[in-house]
Amino acid sequence: MATITFQGKAIHTNGELPPVGSAAPDFLLVNSKLKNLNLANFAGKKKLLNIVPSLDTPTCAASARKFNEKAGHMKNTSVLVVSADLPFAQCRFCETEDLQNVFALSTFRSNFSEDYGVKLVDSILAGLTARAIVIIDEDNKIVYTELVNELANEPNYDAALAAL
């Protein structure tokens, strides 16, 4: 269990992020066409997982825009924005924001948040994900992680981009 804060108050996740150097847990996430996707769908690519509670918040929206701009054009890299939002809402957000370089994927049918240790287990946000970055290399090994210590803060973009 990890402890972070939300508006300065301690909240907890169900576990810890997978350790750097370990094999990435496979996942089942849902795209805007309601198709299930997993690690195999991104085989041979680097994967930046921008894990956010909901794209319907300013900080989550900002990180999706920033990674769309900065990492979306990187060769051999897929940027996955992972949230509990329904695929329809994610699609609408990406269309409105003109985000063409990210894959918005929903956790709504999966154990992703539990498997990656980011499920919030207490507070009014219980059930959503903590804000985190996980970078997975072409061989599905974890090469970088960040669990953002205050849910309202943005991730360390420079460190994440350097890890790619």
Q: How far apart are CA 33 and CA 49, in angstroms?
A: 19
Catalytic residue among 49, 51, 60, 160: 60
What torsion, rounded to 10 degrees, do the Cα atoms 142, 146, 152, 158 define? Answer: -100
Give the residue from 94, 6, 15, 12 showing the smallest Cα distance to 55.
Answer: 94
The C-alpha atoms of residue 102 and residue 71 are separated, in whole angstroms, by 9
Q: Can 94 be counted among the known catalytic residues?
A: no
Residue 144's SS3 state is: strand
Residues noted as catalytic: 60
